[in-house]
Structures are given as structure tokens and as C-alpha cells.
């Protein structure tokens, strides 16, 4: 059993951390980790030509700053690498109306994982025929929305879902419409994360049809025999934050094998193969993700070889990157509030004696990933550089949880102070989209920056928004002055 972090971790002296030596330049912006437009100008971090103090003053903190050219550039890198394939942006990483419009304009496809993600994309004008809908428990309402909108694919996840979809598809065909195009999500017994992948025959998870049990083949045969459904192809997704293509290659091998079985059983040649997302990004300078070009080359080679071996035509490939498009181009700006030095246990000669708990004005409500997955992030002092010696720090949020950590161990200049701004890198994926109102903190805004201009693409949630949901508080005015808005005289970056 895992101990609750509010329990034993409080007791005794904390052991020294296993953090490496301080980097030579504490303010350096590693190009692997920071948005493509990130620069220091007179010491201050600028994003797409905008100084962070100005952004924080105008929009408050915490603040997600999204480098538009970085986001669209990474989407374009995938589109270029996969010219002969479809690139679906996995919108669960981060979606808003503006992002949907950029992707639509740039010719990408889009994956939605819920009816509401689908509704956001459609409301933004994203072409329905370029959308796929995922989900292990799609409701009747969600399926009907997909059928009525005429989306590109419903990605079938279970026998129950086939039962739910068929009557809707039949009604569409009876009304003169076309059969509903579907993919079958297969679980191929490969689980991949970063550098490792595990290949098993056994599946113990909620998604998809197992290849090992024969369910995937049974589902494919069943769908092929349903006149109101059109089985376009197969789908597989093997994990997240993957740096090595070997897992994708193993998955491709297995899923093409299933295409062969479907062909044998029914004579049908399936035309599409979607190998999912999961391409890793650099959260830390030492991370070394694969490039879209490498992934595309390896996948093409493996799929071509497997198809040749089975005497099948090569299907049209698709991939579903989310993190690799949205992650690196966004940083979160926070203002430092309190700093608490904590004495550490003896770690031997040269080991740090003190860790500074640097508290910021957000936390696990705007970035749950460190607490949830033990994810690693890095951050810098953003409003200025400093020549002060390095101090071991832990960047924590303001929530009532001792597990509310954003950056577990890192070196910051020892003179960081309340009022300074911190920028946490690579927060574009699964941060805003997983944000919560824990402790009634409010979801931060997202500001897109490009060529020196800043546009708020998602506004800050207000306490009035939250009061409006509450049966008792709906008509009660939120406190004034608003405690959830930056004050006009907000001393952002006071030390700059
Ligand atoms: C089916 C599917 N496709 C794509 C993705 C996107 O993954 P990533 O953001 O790691 O590329 C996910 C994420 O879990 C997923 O479940």
C-alpha cells in the first residue's frame, strides 16, 4: 500500500535529494525544453517577443503562455514527416476554439475523447470528416452527436458500443445517409513508456479489443457484416512519453498481423492503420525524444515489410500525437509567494544541507502531472537573471496537500524572492486540460503569443463563474475586489 503523502513524509528529517550538480548557468534556456521563441532579453524571459513581466501584469498569474508558432510548427513537422499519412492531433492534450481553428487551417485531423471535446471542435468549425471519436464508454448522446455530425471515424472500443452504434447507423442509412465509418481499437499486448516497452500476450486494461483473446478479430468480422457500418481499418495506442520507436514497431507488427487474419476470414482488405500517439518530448535537458521524421521512416518501413510478408497492400497510416505538438510550446508563469528553507539530513560531503520550498500561486490544480505521475519538469527565474549561487529548491503550489509539488528538485539562484516570476517549461500538454478547481482555485487563462502580439485564447475562470454553479451561491455576488483577478498595482516581477 502506498503511504498517503500527508502521513509519514512529515516525520523525521528528509533525506538528501538525488539531484545532480547545479548547471553552469541557472538561467539557461535549453532549446530542447523551452518554446522555440524563448529568449533572454536583458536577463528577462521573452516569449515570441513579449516580456514575461508584461504578460503577467496584463493577464495575472498563474498564466499559460502558448507560443503559437511553436505549436503550429510542431504540427507542421508531423504533417511533413507523415505526408502520405493522416496526422490526428490528440485534443485531450489541450483544446480550445483557437487551437481547433489553427489545426483546421493547417490541414490536420483531430481526435476527440469525449462528446464535449467533439462539441468544442465542431463549434470552432473543425471539419467533421477530419475528426475521430475515442472513448471506452461513449454514451448514446455522444455516439448520436458523432453520427449526426458525420465525423471521419468512430473508434469502436467494445462490443457494447457496437450494439449501441448499429441502430443509429441503420437510421442514418435508412434516411439516405452513408454507412458510419469506424476503426476498431485493438489492444496488442504492448505497453510502452519512454525507453522501455513490454510485450505480453495478456491484456488487463479498459480500452479496446484484445488481440490475444481473439476479440479484435471477432469484432472486425462482426462490423464487416453490419451493412450500416464501414470498417475503415484498425487502431492501436501503446502508451505515452515514448522515446524509442521499438514499441511502435512491435505494435505495428501485431496489428498488421490482425489485418492479415481479417483478410483471411472475410476477404476484406482494410485500408487504414492508426498507430496512435505517445511520442515523447523533452521535459528536461537530458531527455532525447525521437523526431517525427524518424518515427515516420521507421513505421513506414515496418508496416511495408509486414504487409509484404502477408501479401497485403500497405494501408494508409495515421498517428495521433498530442503531447509532441502541444507540450513544448507552452510555459506556465507563476509568482513566488513564500519561501521556506528546510534543513536536510546529512548526505555526506558536498551534499546540500538545505532545501528551499518555493511556493507559487498555483499548483496541482493547474499541473497535476508531478503529483499524479511523478512527472519531471524544470523551471527558471523568469523576470531576471541572477549571479547568486545555486540553492537546492522544490517548487510547490499553494494547495492544502503536501504532495502539491510542481518541480521536485532543482537548482535556482539563492536570491529568488517573493514577487519574482518562475516559468515552468513544457506545460502545454495535460496541464490546462487536466486543471481542476481544487481548493476553489480558478483555472488560469491561456495566452497565445506570436510576433510580439499576445491574445487571450482562454480567459481566466472567475469566482463568479464558480458561484454560478452553486445552488446557494448562484445569486450571491462574488467578493469585491475580486480575489481571483490581478490587482491593477500587482507587483509582478517586483525584483526585475
Ligand atoms: C488513443 C490515444 N491517442 C493518442 C493519445 C495522445 O498521446 P500523446 O499525447 O502522448 O501523444 C492518447 C493519450 O493517451 C490516446 O489515448
Ligand 1 pocket by Cβ (under 6 Å): 90, 93, 111, 134, 237, 240, 276-279, 320-324, 429
**Is 320 marked within a binding site?**
yes
pLDDT of residue 83 exceeding 70, the answer is yes
Contacts of 154 (CB under 8 A, 6+ apart): 132, 133, 138, 143, 146, 147, 165, 180, 181, 182, 183
Q: What is the pLDDT of residues 227-271, one digit of tens each?
A: 999 999 999 999 999 998 999 999 999 999 999 999 999 999 999
Whether the Cβ atoms of residue 364 and residue 401 lie closer than 8 Å to each other: yes
- To the query of whether residue 400 is one of the catalytic residues in this protein, the response is yes
Cα torsion angle, 255, 261, 263, 266, sign = negative
Q: What is the pLDDT of residue 485?
A: 61
Task: Single out the residue of 277, 177, 265 nearest to residue 219, CA to CA.
Answer: 265
pLDDT of residue 354 exceeding 80, the answer is yes
Contacts of 101 (CB under 8 A, 6+ apart): 124, 125, 126
Report how far residue 397's alpha carbon sits from residue 174's, in angstroms, rounded to the nearest whole number. Answer: 56
Q: What is the pLDDT of residue 199?
A: 73
Q: At what angle do helices 159-174 and 140-149 cross, to 10 degrees?
A: 40
Q: What is the mean pLDDT of residues 315-333?
A: 98
Looking at per-residue pLDDT, the higher value among 309 and 200 belongs to 309
* Nearest atom in ligand 1 to 322's CA: 9
| Protein residue whose Cα sits closest to atom 5 of ligand 1 | 277
**Is 222 marked within a binding site?**
no
Report how far residue 221's alpha carbon sits from residue 254's, in angstroms, rounded to the nearest whole number. Answer: 17
Residue-averaged pLDDT of the chain: 92
- Which of 71, 282, 322, 427 for mutating ligand 1's site (highest number of atoms within 8 Å of CB)? 322
What is the strand order of the sheet 39-41 is part of? 39-41, 44-47, 50-51
Q: What is the pLDDT of residue 9?
A: 38
* Nearest atom in ligand 1 to 430's CA: 9
Q: What is the pLDDT of residue 5?
A: 40
Looking at per-residue pLDDT, the higher value among 478 and 72 belongs to 72
Q: Model confidence at 3, in pLDDT bands (50, 70, 90)? A: very low
CA 353 from centre of chain: 36
**Is 334 marked within a binding site?**
no
Write the DSSP string, 38-60: -EEETTEEEETTEEHHHHHHHH-
List the chain domain ranges.
39-61+330-425+431-484, 68-326
Task: Single out the residue of 189, 294, 205 nearest to residue 247, CA to CA.
Answer: 189
- How far, CA to CA in Å, does 134 sit from each of 183, 276, 353? 10, 11, 49
**Is 440 marked within a binding site?**
no
Report how far residue 156's alpha carbon sits from residue 224's, in angstroms, rounded to the nearest whole number. Answer: 13
Whether the Cβ atoms of residue 360 and residue 441 lie closer than 8 Å to each other: no
Q: Model confidence at 201, in pLDDT bands (50, 70, 90)? A: low
Task: Single out the residue of 417, 351, 410 nearest to residue 383, CA to CA.
Answer: 417
- Determine the 3-state secondary structure of 356 from DSSP: strand
Q: What is the pLDDT of residues 95-131, one digit of tens each?
A: 999 999 999 999 999 999 999 999 999 999 999 999 9
pLDDT of residue 487 exceeding 70, the answer is no
* Nearest atom in ligand 1 to 279's CA: 11
Show the DSSP H helices in 21-158 as ranges: 52-59, 68-81, 97-105, 115-123, 140-149
Q: How far, in Å, from the CA of 188 to the mean position of ligand 1?
A: 15
CA 206 from centre of chain: 20
Under DSSP, the state recorded for 137 is: T
Q: Model confidence at 202, in pLDDT bands (50, 70, 90)? A: low
Choice among 307, 379, 393, 400 that is catalytic: 400
Q: How far, in Å, from the CA of 285 to the mean position of ligand 1?
A: 23
Q: What is the pLDDT of residue 15?
A: 47
pLDDT of residue 13 exceeding 70, the answer is no
pLDDT of residue 304 exceeding 80, the answer is yes
- Which of 89, 91, 92 for mutating ligand 1's site (highest number of atoms within 8 Å of CB)? 92
**Is 401 marked within a binding site?**
yes
- Determine the 3-state secondary structure of 371 from DSSP: helix
| Protein residue whose Cα sits closest to atom 4 of ligand 1 | 277
CATH classification for the domain delimited by 39-61+330-425+431-484, as one of 3.30.9.10, 2.40.37.10, 2.160.10.10, 3.40.50.620 = 2.40.37.10
Report how far residue 446's alpha carbon sits from residue 435's, in angstroms, rounded to the nearest whole number. Answer: 12
- Which of 91, 236, 278 for mutating ligand 1's site (highest number of atoms within 8 Å of CB)? 278
- Which of 99, 277, 372, 432 for mutating ligand 1's site (highest number of atoms within 8 Å of CB)? 277
Report how far residue 213's alpha carbon sits from residue 201's, in angstroms, rounded to the nearest whole number. Answer: 9
What percent of the chain lies above the pLDDT cut of 70? 92
* Nearest atom in ligand 1 to 242's CA: 10
Q: Model confidence at 490, in pLDDT bands (50, 70, 90)? A: low
* pTM (two decimals): 0.94
Report how far residue 306's alpha carbon sits from residue 225's, in angstroms, rounded to the nearest whole number. Answer: 26
pLDDT of residue 145 exceeding 90, the answer is yes
Q: How far, in Å, from the CA of 363 to the mean position of ligand 1?
A: 24
Whether the Cβ atoms of residue 297 and residue 67 lie closer than 8 Å to each other: no
Q: What is the pLDDT of residue 377?
A: 97
Q: How far, in Å, from the CA of 227 to the mean position of ligand 1?
A: 30
Q: How far, in Å, from the CA of 297 to the mean position of ligand 1?
A: 20
Q: How far, in Å, from the CA of 89 to the mean position of ligand 1?
A: 9
| Topology of the domain covering 68-326 | TIM Barrel (3.20.20)
Euclidean distance between the first and the last CA atom of the chain, given in angstroms as a whole number: 46
**Grid cell of 29 as nine digits:** 534556456
Q: How far, in Å, from the CA of 198 to the mean position of ligand 1?
A: 18
**Is 7 marked within a binding site?**
no
Q: What is the pLDDT of residues 386-408, one digit of tens each?
A: 999 999 999 999 999 999 999 99
Q: What is the pLDDT of residues 410-463, one digit of tens each?
A: 999 999 999 999 999 999 999 999 999 999 999 999 999 999 999 999 999 999
Q: What is the pLDDT of residue 343?
A: 92
Looking at per-residue pLDDT, the higher value among 27 and 15 belongs to 27
Under DSSP, the state recorded for 442 is: -
Q: Model confidence at 12, in pLDDT bands (50, 70, 90)? A: very low
pLDDT of residue 314 exceeding 70, the answer is yes
**Is 36 marked within a binding site?**
no
Amino acid at each position: 500500500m502506498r503511504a498517503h503523502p500527508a502521513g509519514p513524509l512529515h516525520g523525521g528529517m528528509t533525506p538528501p535529494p538525488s539531484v545532480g550538480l547545479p548547471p553552469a548557468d541557472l538561467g539557461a534556456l535549453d532549446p530542447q525544453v523551452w518554446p522555440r521563441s524563448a529568449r533572454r532579453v536583458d536577463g528577462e524571459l521573452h516569449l515570441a517577443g513579449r516580456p514575461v513581466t508584461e504578460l503577467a501584469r496584463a493577464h495575472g498569474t498563474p498564466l499559460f503562455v502558448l507560443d503559437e508558432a511553436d505549436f503550429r510548427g510542431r504540427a507542421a513537422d508531423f504533417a511533413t514527416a507523415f505526408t502520405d499519412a493522416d496526422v490526428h492531433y490528440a485534443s485531450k492534450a489541450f483544446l480550445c476554439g483557437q487551437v481547433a481553428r489553427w489545426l483546421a487551417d493547417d490541414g490536420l485531423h483531430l481526435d476527440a475523447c469525449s462528446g464535449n471535446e467533439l462539441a468544442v471542435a465542431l463549434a470552432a468549425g473543425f471539419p467533421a470528416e477530419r475528426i475521430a471519436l475515442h472513448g471506452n464508454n461513449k454514451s448514446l448522446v455522444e455516439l448520436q452527436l458523432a453520427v449526426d455530425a458525420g465525423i471521419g471515424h468512430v473508434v469502436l472500443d467494445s462490443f457494447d458500443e457496437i450494439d449501441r452504434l448499429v441502430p443509429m447507423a441503420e437510421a442514418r442509412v435508412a434516411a439516405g445517409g452513408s454507412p458510419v465509418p469506424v476503426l476498431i481499437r485493438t489492444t496488442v499486448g504492448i505497453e510502452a513508456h519512454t525507453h522501455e516497452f513490454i510485450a505480453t500476450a495478456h491484456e488487463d486494461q479498459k480500452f479496446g479489443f484484445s488481440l490475444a483473446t481473439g476479440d479484435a478479430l471477432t469484432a472486425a468480422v462482426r462490423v464487416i457484416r453490419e451493412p450500416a457500418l464501414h470498417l475503415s481499418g484498425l487502431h492501436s495506442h501503446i502508451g505515452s512519453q515514448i522515446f524509442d520507436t521499438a514499441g511502435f514497431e512491435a505494435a505495428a507488427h501485431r496489428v498488421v498481423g490482425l489485418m492479415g487474419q481479417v483478410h483471411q476470414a472475410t476477404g476484406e482488405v482494410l485500408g487504414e492503420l492508426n498507430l496512435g500517439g505517445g511520442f515523447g518530448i523533452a521535459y528536461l535537458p537530458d531527455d532525447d525524444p525521437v523526431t517525427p521524421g524518424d518515427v515516420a521512416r521507421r513505421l513506414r518501413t515496418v508496416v511495408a515489410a509486414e504487409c509484404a510478408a502477408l501479401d497485403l497492400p500497405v494501408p494508409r497510416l495515421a498517428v495521433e500525437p498530442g503531447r509532441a505538438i502541444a507540450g513544448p510550446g507552452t510555459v506556465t508563469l507563476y509568482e513566488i509567494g513564500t519561501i521556506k528553507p528546510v534543513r536536510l539530513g546529512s548526505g555526506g560531503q558536498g551534499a546540500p544541507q538545505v532545501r528551499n520550498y518555493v511556493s507559487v500561486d498555483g499548483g496541482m490544480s493547474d499541473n497535476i502531472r508531478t503529483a499524479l505521475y511523478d512527472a519531471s519538469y524544470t523551471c527558471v527565474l523568469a523576470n531576471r537573471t541572477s549571479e547568486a549561487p545555486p540553492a537546492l529548491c522544490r517548487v510547490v503550489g499553494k494547495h492544502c496537500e503536501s504532495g502539491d509539488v510542481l518541480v521536485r528538485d532543482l537548482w535556482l539562484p539563492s536570491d529568488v524572492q517573493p514577487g519574482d516570476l518562475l516559468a515552468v517549461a513544457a506545460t502545454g500538454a495535460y496541464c490546462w486540460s487536466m486543471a481542476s478547481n481544487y481548493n476553489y482555485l480558478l483555472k488560469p487563462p491561456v495566452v497565445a503569443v506570436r510576433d510580439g502580439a499576445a491574445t487571450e485564447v482562454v480567459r481566466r475562470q472567475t469566482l463568479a463563474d464558480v458561484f454560478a454553479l452553486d445552488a446557494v451561491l448562484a445569486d450571491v455576488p462574488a467578493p469585491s475586489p475580486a480575489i481571483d483577478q490581478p490587482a491593477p498595482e500587482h507587483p509582478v516581477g517586483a525584483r526585475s
